[in-house]
């Protein structure tokens, strides 16, 4: 797989975080939070998710070195994680993609982690930097734009849900899951190809 561009990295991160597919969960979480606290909660949760993902992005290479992991193993692992999550998007589970939501105002879990900064997002930012570390500021920009979209989706989740309706939202989630499945398979094939070439 060629080195991604800003646009392709942004689209990939957007697919991984899946803000549209998370709208039903967003709506259920928002109903448990007083309206005057919602913006503060959204900023807090998105900031935590951004901070975690940025930490993995900046120190990703050092993390790989400490754990004695290769870029090939990271690519294959990321592909597996993406594939499993994509399957739950295409074939919805009763508990949702990441499991059932807790009661009361969310605090880091499950909104910031794992909904926004889940295993697939962590693997994706590590993979972006490991593929082209010289363009890290490009990946930080793509991540920041992704988090901005997630924040806006959170803020307007109820209105978006009303406009789109449950069926359209479900259709979007399954379409994103299908695209994410193809990306995951490509990551797996690239990882296997690189591994076999190194034998």
- The region of weakest confidence among 51-55, 74-78, 92-96 is 92-96
**Residues of the domain holding 155:** 6-197
User: How many whole angstroms separate alpha carbon 99 and alpha carbon 109?
Assistant: 11
Q: Give the number of C-alpha atoms closer than 13 A to the C-alpha of residue 85, restricted to the C-beta side.
A: 29
1, 186 contact by CB (below 8 A): yes
Residue with tokens 């499950």: 110
Residue 95, phi then psi, degrees to nearest 5? -90, 5
- pLDDT > 60? residue 100: no
Encode pLDDT of 186-197 as tens digits. 888 988 998 899
Residue 116 lies in a domain: yes
Q: Sorting pLDDT into bands at 50, 70 and 90, what band is 104?
A: low
Joined tokens for residue 31: 């109903």
- pLDDT > 80? residue 60: no
Overall number of domains in the chain: 1
Rounded-to-5 percentages of helix, strand, coil across the chain: 75, 0, 20
User: How many whole angstroms separate alpha carbon 98 and alpha carbon 93?
Assistant: 9
Encode pLDDT of 31-49 as tens digits. 778 888 889 999 999 999 9
Residue 1 lies in a domain: no
Joined tokens for residue 87: 């399957």
Q: What angle do CA 150, 38, 46 make, to 5 degrees?
A: 35
Q: Sorting pLDDT into bands at 50, 70 and 90, what band is 170?
A: confident
């Amino acid at each position: 797989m060629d080195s991604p561009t800003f646009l392709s990295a942004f689209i990939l991160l957007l697919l991984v975080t899946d803000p549209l597919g998370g709208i039903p969960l967003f709506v259920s979480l928002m109903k448990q939070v007083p309206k005057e606290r919602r913006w503060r909660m959204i900023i807090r949760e998105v900031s935590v998710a951004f901070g975690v993902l940025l930490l993995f992005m900046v120190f990703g290479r050092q993390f790989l070195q400490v754990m004695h992991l290769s870029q090939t193993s990271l690519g294959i692992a990321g592909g597996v994680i993406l594939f499993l999550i994509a399957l739950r998007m295409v074939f919805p589970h009763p508990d949702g993609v990441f499991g059932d939501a807790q009661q009361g105002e969310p605090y880091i879990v499950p909104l910031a982690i794992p909904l926004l900064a889940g295993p697939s997002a962590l693997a994706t930012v590590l993979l972006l930097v490991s593929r082209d570390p010289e363009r890290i500021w490009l990946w930080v920009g793509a991540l920041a734009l992704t988090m901005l979209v997630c924040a806006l989706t959170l803020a307007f989740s109820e209105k978006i849900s009303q406009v789109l309706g449950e069926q359209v939202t479900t259709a979007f989630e399954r379409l994103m899951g299908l695209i994410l499945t193809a990306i995951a398979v490509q990551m797996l094939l690239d990882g296997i190809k690189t591994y076999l070439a190194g034998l």
